[in-house]
Amino acid sequence: MLIKRITVGEIKVPLKVPFKTAVRTVTEVHDLVICIETDTGLAGYGEAPATAVITGDLLGSMRAALDLLAPRLLGRKLMDFNALLLLIQRSVIHHSSLKAALEIALYDLRARAFGVPLYQLLGGGDPQLKTDITISVNDLDVMVKDALRAVAEGFDCLKIKVGGHTWQDDVDSVLAIERAVGPHVALRLDANQGWTAKHAVLVIQAIEKAGVALELVEQPVKADDVAGLKFVTEHTLTPVLADEAVFSTRDALHILATGSADIVNIKLMKTGGISQAIEVASLARLHQRTCMVGCMLESAISVTAAAHFAVAFEDVVSYIDLDGPQLCASSAVDGGMRMNGPWITLPDAPGLGITAVHGLTHIKVFDV
């Protein structure tokens, strides 16, 4: 079975409300979509967001890197799978989101070739997951309204974006949301690098002293401030989750071995795909820690892949943040993960279970 054609295009999907974090505001998903086809008529899909401020990936830079990679993949045997993964990982440094999209398409194809859903190819598991939902950083009354709407839709875990205002505003927003939704809704905070280590400790301790038990706090400090991350982990009771601080297995090893965070957020767009995500999950298992499986602002192709991964590694994945498609006002995809409030169910179809992607623009085809 040979790789015969690689098609790249772009999708745009509007969001229900603007997505606002400490580092960016966006109103739509605008992602690269890759389709890899074999000479036997199989097609596998992948997706990559241009999260420049986190991964450094832009639509143009990913397309330029694909110009290099696609010709090297064409004509190769799909079943030389590990060699293909190495080729993707080693042909270019960085470009983690493009690598993820290519790997996802190849894993999709491999599972389709074996006639099984991807999570079964990866080891099996229960194909149902429960995700949190993101509450963007905004004025307090907007955040409370968004939180109440999410709870009314069935979500019992909120990921509240902080770090974009003063530390006192952050404390006030979190306490107001907790008062509004009640103690049975789990609260996660994500500062997206928006605090210094000392500010993070100040905010988290103020919330702890107010009697609000946070489930976790994600990436309180700058991505490269590992000493700051460790300071926060050591000076608060709330579990600390490393997100932007952990892309590669090397990053994960350092964070886990030094106890700089309690939990690691695995995103396919940071690891460069499924093969390295497996390595990070294995490292976490080795260090007797757990992981979150998260997403960037992505639509249903790559989030479906992340859900398949999370299902297969459920022993080490305790937290799910796969709300990308939930934040979208519509879908460009047929098949793939089904969503019902916080519940994600994976189809019993081969591969990712995606049958079509609509509205592709800027299409380019690489052929043998």
Binding residues: 24, 134, 159, 190, 218, 243, 295, 297, 321, 323
How far apart, in whole angstroms, are the C-alpha atoms of residue 165 and residue 197? Answer: 16
243 binds Mg ion (CB under 5 A): yes
- Smallest distance from Mg ion to CB 243, Å: 4
Strands 263-266 and 43-49: unpaired
321 binds Mg ion (CB under 5 A): no
Q: 161 catalytic, yes or no?
A: yes
159 binds ligand LRSVPJYC (CB under 6 A): yes
Q: Choose, from 161, 198, 209, 230, the residue flagged as catalytic.
A: 161
- Smallest distance from Mg ion to CB 295, Å: 10
How far apart, in whole angstroms, are the C-alpha atoms of residue 48 and residue 141? Answer: 33
Which one of residues 5, 24, 63, 222 is an interface residue with ligand LRSVPJYC (CB under 6 A)? Answer: 24
Of residues 173-202, those binding Mg ion (CB under 5 A) = 190
Of residues 274-333, those binding ligand LRSVPJYC (CB under 6 A) = 294-297, 321, 323-324
Phi-psi region of 213 (alpha: psi -120 to 50; beta: other; left: phi over 0): beta
Q: What angle in degrees, to the nearest 10, is found between the helix axes of 96-114 and 81-90?
A: 170
How far apart, in whole angstroms, are the C-alpha atoms of residue 159 and residue 175? Answer: 14
- Smallest distance from ligand LRSVPJYC to CB 295, Å: 5
Binding mask 186-225 toward ligand LRSVPJYC (x if CB under 6 A, else -) reads ----x-x---------------------------------
218 binds Mg ion (CB under 5 A): yes
| H-state helical runs in the chain | 52-55, 59-73, 81-90, 96-114, 118-121, 140-152, 167-181, 197-209, 226-235, 249-257, 268-271, 274-286, 300-312, 324-327
How far apart, in whole angstroms, are the C-alpha atoms of residue 169 and residue 194? Answer: 13
Look at the alpha carbons of 71, 76, 78, 80 in this order and tell me if their dihedral is positive or negative: negative
Partner in contact with 117, chosen from ligand LRSVPJYC, Mg ion, none, beta carbon below 5 to 8 Å by kind: none
Contacts to Mg ion by CB under 5 A: 190, 218, 243
The residues assigned a catalytic role are 161, 267
Residues that bind ligand LRSVPJYC in the complex, under the rule CB under 6 A? 21, 24, 51, 54, 134, 159, 190, 192, 243, 294-297, 321, 323-324
